[in-house]
Amino acid sequence: MAELQKRATLLPYGQQWIDDDDIAAIVDVLKGNYITQGPSIEQFEVAIAEYVGASYAVAFSNGTAALHGACFAAGIGVGDEVITTPITFAASSNCVLYCGGTPVFADIQRDTYNIDPASVNKQITSKTKAIIPVDLTGQPADLDSIMDIARRHNLVVIEDAAHSLGASYRNQKVGAIADMTMFSFHPVKHITTGEGGVIVTNNSEYYQKLLLFRSHGITRDPHQISNNEGPWYYEMQELGYNYRMTDIQAVLGLSQLSKLDSFVARRREIAQQYTEVFQQYTGLVIPYQSLESNSSWHLYVLRFEPEYFTVDRRTIFEQLRQMNIGVNVHYIPVYQQPYYRQNGYHNELHEQAEHYYNTCISIPLFPKMTDQDVKDVIEAIQEVYNMYKKM
């Protein structure tokens, strides 16, 4: 067997892009009076809300904390069920457990890999309180169908848009459609604050609850406290958490936000280059591109249909890693995790989710990739394809 070409260094599947403007913004904050709970946080919240067209935004220390806050604001508690997808990071369902609720998994669509509204319908019971659709890879879920189901059953929709900042659905930016929407600012996402997350909403009641929840359940707002004893007075009205974002994170986010559109444009450019090449290869399934939405391309997922190859997905994955192409798998079905299996999900099985998981590989995609990086990925996939395809 011929030795395959190998890059000199590992090319990760995703990576942040921090420049001198970002660094300068952080330095300015470090030299100022506030490094936490200062004005930069509200400035960042306003900027995010304006970008997506939402009325309110509440920043959190990370995306998981933001989802936890959204579940709290939605009133999810013991005895409540929340329907979500198994093809996601565990936070999308863990946030329900944090509030005492029960995650219920629906299957995914075979083409988009997002939650299947038909499967959601089948999972609804008298205990269902909310739906958490996930915009996998940056492609918005079928929000029209999901919102319609929610309205008919009086459910709250919390969109996990960790992958889809900058995406649009029916010519409307993701973030102003669901009852609440979460964006993540982890380093591999579209913009980064190091760690960080936000909930955007058009609902003023949810907004007030989110503000309380992220800061110990405490308020100093004179319009909300029941017994104002003086300028020092505050009240803890809920059992909240310390989920606050720092000003250091917020100013980095503000600086990054100014580049978001160019970052997304580069992601789309790279995705198009991949698609033009890989659509020619039998047995390789390229990402579905919906006419109703415009993905922000957090991930580019190829599926290797097993009947066309002489080896399994693991062999292909390991071969690409040996070539210093930092492929990954997004995601293992959540219900397969030991914690979930030990807590009643051991008989869970969703046909489309299982098929997707057994065949998917995420290939590198991030704005800082050079044209040579993109070429390296394409050539590596081509080499592995030609080595392992059935004749």
Residues involved in catalysis? 189
Question: What would the two tokens of residue 344 be?
Answer: 């009643």
* Contact criterion met (CB below 8 Å) for 174 and 196: no
* Contact criterion met (CB below 8 Å) for 332 and 314: no
Instruction: Output the DSSP codes for 35-96.
Output: SBSSHHHHHHHHHHHHHHT-SEEEEESSHHHHHHHHHHHTT--TT-EEEE-SSS-THHHHHH
Please choose, from the candidates 152, 92, 89, the residue with its C-alpha nearest in 3D space to the C-alpha of residue 117.
152
Region label for 41, one of left (φ > 0), alpha (ψ between -120 and 50) or beta (otherwise): alpha
Q: What is the DSSP letter of 342?
A: I
Classify burial at 145, counting beta carbons within 10 Å of its beta carbon; exposed 0-12, middle 13-18, buried 19 or more.
middle
Phi, psi of 290 (to 5 degrees): -75, 145
